[in-house]
Structure formats: structure tokens, C-alpha cells
Structure 1
């Protein structure tokens, strides 16, 4: 008795359709390695890195040079000063958090060009890439927060 492979339950797309889909996927995503190479070489013209979680998460660890635009606070007014010619690369905690998706969606709906960083700050740090942190007072004790801090 032969069994059909589960991996082929849904047949693969023809190469042209697959290429179009994958190209579109890459048009919406950036991986941490490409981003860190840009940051270390100074080739970051044309985009801004955006932390879409709460200010507390931004303060605790962020990608160098990122700005904080919590997705929950995004409105036409709050983003009115952003340059519409730039691409906004949104990130959040990890693949288990969708704050980057929510932030990118809000920005896109407001007319901005967007991408997401694959894996968020968790993938960034797991790769050993640098982060910036705000200095905390020595008596500071953080309050418990949701794990994804969005």
C-alpha cells in the first residue's frame, strides 16, 4: 500500500505563480540580517525602523535608531509629521506578537509604504545584534507586563 505524501496534499504552484507570490512576500518583509547590514554600513536611506510596541518596551530594548510609534496610538494626527516618501519597517516582540502587523496595517491604511521585520526584536537579539536601552534609575523596579509588551 502506497501513501500519498502529506507535503504534496496541495500541489506546488507553477514556477511563475510561486515567484510572484514570493516576490510579493519579500516586498512586505525584511530579515534581521539584511537590516543589520544596512545599519552597520550606513546604507539606511529611504526607510525608518519603527518599534510598534508600548514605550516601556521601546525603553527596555530597541533596534538602534528606531523610533517608537505604538500601534495603539497611531492616528492620522499622530503620524502627520512622517515623511510619506520613506518606507516604515515595523517590528514588535516576535513571531508570537502581531503589533508590527497591526502597526504596518495602520500606516498602510494612512497612505504610508511599509514592511515588517521578520521575527521582531527577539530574532534580532537572538542573532546577537546590538540594541539600545534607556538608562533606568537604580531604584527602578519594572511592573509586571504582558510578555509581548504591546
Structure 2
């Protein structure tokens, strides 16, 4: 358990659903990801170590979400962790995607160049799938995106 605590040393930690929700949205925006890509429910704790990029989000219970835009079911454990940098989340834990009949862990999420508007999810085995970023946008984000692309 000491190793886990070391990763979290010096972390900024917030508690409570409202504070955690705001912190997770702020983090996604800062990294350049759409807000809907991590639809976690009932968050109770979020933390971030700025020096190392380590983040974690704890929710009351595991949660499954179906993304209509990518036609995928994703499972989120009680705790989701990652190391973050602009346009990338790596060494992710606590996230699995259902592929046919198997649950496959997701270890990395990468925003391609902004011009391509694509997001790629990789597994620990190095396999990945790419989707349009709009598949993970909130309705509000989609509306803005469509307005801007028509200008």
C-alpha cells in the first residue's frame, strides 16, 4: 500500500460530487478531451499530482456507460487512475470496453491532432480503435462544434 501512497504524495485532493465533477471537467478541458469521454457517476474523491501527472477519480460504485456515437459499452471501476499530459491519458486503470463478448482494458486515450478531430483508445496489448471526437462530446459541445464547423 505504501507504493500507492507515494504516487499520491503532494496531491491536490477534492471531495464531494460537485467539486469532483467540476475538477474532472476542468481536467478534460485542459487536456483537450471532450467532456463526455469520462462519464463517471457519484464521484466522491478526485486527486491530482501536478508534478507527475498522476490523477485518480473515485466513485461510489462501478458504472457502465453505453456510448451511442461509438456503439461501445464501457465499464468504469470504483477507482479510475491515469497519468495525464496534453492530449493524452496513459497507464490508465479501472476502464474496460466491451468488444464482442470480451471486456478489454483501456490503458491509453490519445487526442489526435486537433485538425483530424479523432480520439484513439489503446489496450495494454497495443491494439487500438479510433473514433470521431464527436462520439464523446456532450450535447452542448456538439452544438458548439457544429456551429463552428459551419462558419
TM superposition score category, shorter chain reference: under 0.3
| More contact order relative to length (CA 8 Å, sep ≥ 6) | 1
Larger Rg: 1
